[in-house]
Amino acid sequence: MLKLLEHADSVRKEVGRHISQEHKSDLGQFMTPATVARFMASLFSSSTLSTGRVLDAGAGVGSLSGAFLDRVVRGGFAFRRVEVTAFEIDARLRNHLSRTLANYHGEFTLDASVVAGDFIEEAVQMILNGGPCFTHAILNPPYKKINSASRHRSLLRQVGIETVNLYSAFVALAVRLMQPGGQIVAIIPRSFCNGPYYRPFRELILARTAIKHIHLFDARDRAFKDDDVLQENIIILLERDARQGIVTVTTSTDDRFFDIRSHDYPFGRIVFQDDPEHFIHIPTSPEQNQIECSPLISCSLADTGLEVSTGPVVDFRLRAHLRKMPEKGTVPLLYPCHFSGYVVDWPKSGAKKPNAILRNPETERWLYPNGCYVVVKRFSSKEEKRRIVASVVYPDAFDSPVLGLENHLNVFHRGRQGLPEDLARGLSVFLNSTQIDEQFRRFSGHTQVNATDLRLLKYPSREVLTRLGLWAKAQGLLTQDGIDKKIESLACGKKTI
């Protein structure tokens, strides 16, 4: 029977070679390798039900349904009958899907239905009609944004689902279609774990399901390597209407699963009780991060009297006012490319981005007074050692009363005014520590750093940050090792800086 799944995998590879990357992106369609499908099917709890009703939405060539049925054959469930409902909107895949499912007839009583309709339309209608209720769902949903004015968005709102991407819509619909105790295993991007756009989705799964298991890949490009997908994905097991308890977190280097490490965590390590955003943290070791358990790093950003916002200059909206290099009537415009390590490189000759913006009545409201600011790049490259990369803008670097700070920067300020220099310097050192980066990576699986993420971090007090800045100033050249040792001593309760 394992040969059937391997055959489906060879079909997946062959079909995938003849589908353009553009078509895959249009449908958000990236088919599941056999190794991943088999691991996903293994996560379901054993069942004593006599009939299994299985949902596979976005089924592709049937790898996930096949992996589930393989497990049925091997005795993983007590089913006497299995009903599979597989949705696939792409006509070129449905024939392969039908053949994959047909291969399992004769092994047990199987009723397999391939549905050509749009899953969102069909699922919403099922929910409005009060059924059906599935016992299991195994999903690799499409990854594509949903336009706020689209028919899909309108349909989802009819059943109380508010979300911004097809993958979260598919999982939310599956949750609604599960019977109590029903289980969902899905491979989805990690991006839902944080950020304001996915908050309604997080609230839905936390209210209606228990998180039982999360699997992480150490290498973010390995789960769908045949399709060159770089989005970091996780595999998650949810159980409808179950009591939330311990969460198992496993990790493996890649999709071969040869080196799985497993740890169990109390739910309080996954979703912090006092977090209004309900961010989902995924710890990778049973020991708490130094930042999490330090009594000296327990202030909110508001406690320090500071704010963080995205840079106000949205360049495409002010394109007519941008200038390649400074000239009369302009002021400095700072992009992420102007920050390299702890140095501000401005103006940058040969840069693709402008270096200046005209100061006039149309741009004035978007400019900040020249002052001392801490900026954090909103996007880091996948190869960058740290996700959070902070720099200090010093006022004496610019002969200008105001500055332009572009939208791809997060800016720490005080009521749109600059910070005291020592405070800014200390904040930058703290944010550039490996300890903060480790904490951030536990709930953020993408390279974007949102202002919301930065607001929800815990900080030392304003006084401690200022002393940290004085220490940094006395060091001269700072190294990563020096920063980390200083933050370690702070986290361990050593007040003297």
Q: What is the pLDDT of residues 163-209, one digit of tens each?
A: 999 999 999 999 999 999 999 999 999 889 887 889 999 999 999 99
How far apart are alpha carbons 12 and 82 in whole angstroms? 24
Provide the residue range defining the domain that includes 391.
Answer: 293-492
What integer pLDDT is reported at residue 74 of this predicted model? 85
**pLDDT surpassing 70 at residue 145:** yes
User: Do 138 and 166 reside in the same domain of the chain?
Assistant: yes
CA-to-CA dists, residue 31 to 43, 59, 62, 254, 446, angstroms: 19, 8, 9, 16, 21
Residue 243's CATH number: 3.40.50.150
| pLDDT, mean of residues 330-356 | 89
Is residue 35 situated within a structural domain? yes
**pLDDT surpassing 80 at residue 366:** yes
User: Do 259 and 378 reside in the same domain of the chain?
Assistant: no
| pLDDT, mean of residues 456-480 | 91
Is residue 234 situated within a structural domain? yes
Q: Give the residues across from 326 on adjacent strands.
A: none
Give residue for tokens 């202002």.
Answer: 451
User: Do 279 and 184 reside in the same domain of the chain?
Assistant: yes
Is residue 124 situated within a structural domain? yes
Do 235 and 215 touch, CB atoms closer than 8 A?
yes
Given the DSSP bridges, would you call strands 343-344 and 209-217 parallel, antiparallel or unpaired?
Answer: unpaired
User: Do 164 and 268 reside in the same domain of the chain?
Assistant: yes
User: Do 270 and 347 reside in the same domain of the chain?
Assistant: no
User: Do 232 and 359 reside in the same domain of the chain?
Assistant: no
Within its chain, how far is the Cα of 463 from the centroid?
33
Query: Higher confidence at residue 367 or residue 229?
Result: 367
Is residue 6 situated within a structural domain? yes
User: Do 97 and 192 reside in the same domain of the chain?
Assistant: yes
Give residue for tokens 């916002």.
Answer: 309
**What's phi and psi for 143, nearest 5 deg?**
-115, 105
> Where residue 24 falls among pLDDT bands split at 50, 70, 90?
very low
Is residue 220 situated within a structural domain? yes
Final residue of a structural domain among 241, 263, 286: 286
What integer pLDDT is reported at residue 444 of this predicted model? 62
CA-to-CA dists, residue 181 to 22, 97, 159, 235, angstroms: 39, 28, 21, 19
Residues 47-66, buried b or exposed e (16+ Cβ, 10 A)? bebeebbbbbbbbbbbbbbb
CA-to-CA dists, residue 293 to 57, 124, 482, angstroms: 41, 44, 21
**What's phi and psi for 399, nearest 5 deg?**
-90, 70
Final residue of a structural domain among 257, 286, 315: 286
**pLDDT surpassing 80 at residue 351:** no
What integer pLDDT is reported at residue 9 of this predicted model? 61
Is residue 398 situated within a structural domain? yes
For 359-460, where are the E strands, in sequence order?
368-369, 373-377, 390-393, 402-405, 409-413
Do 176 and 161 touch, CB atoms closer than 8 A?
yes
User: Do 429 and 488 reside in the same domain of the chain?
Assistant: yes
What integer pLDDT is reported at residue 23 of this predicted model? 43
**pLDDT surpassing 60 at residue 394:** yes
Residue 373's CATH number: 3.90.220.10
How far apart are alpha carbons 193 and 442 in whole angstroms? 9
User: Do 244 and 345 reside in the same domain of the chain?
Assistant: no
* 62 Ramachandran zone, left/alpha/beta (phi>0; psi -120 to 50): left
Q: Tell me how many domains the chain contains.
A: 2
**What's phi and psi for 405, nearest 5 deg?**
-120, 115
Query: pLDDT tens for residues 284-318?
Result: 766 656 666 677 788 889 999 999 999 999 999 99
Final residue of a structural domain among 240, 266, 286: 286
Is residue 497 situated within a structural domain? no
Do 347 and 326 touch, CB atoms closer than 8 A?
yes
How far apart are alpha carbons 198 and 165 in whole angstroms? 9
| pLDDT, mean of residues 239-248 | 96
Is residue 367 situated within a structural domain? yes
**pLDDT surpassing 70 at residue 379:** yes
User: Do 272 and 407 reside in the same domain of the chain?
Assistant: no
User: Do 173 and 80 reside in the same domain of the chain?
Assistant: yes
Q: What average pLDDT does the structure give for the chain?
A: 87
The CB density around residue 415, as the number of other CB atoms within 10 Å, is 7
**pLDDT surpassing 70 at residue 276:** yes
User: Do 299 and 223 reside in the same domain of the chain?
Assistant: no
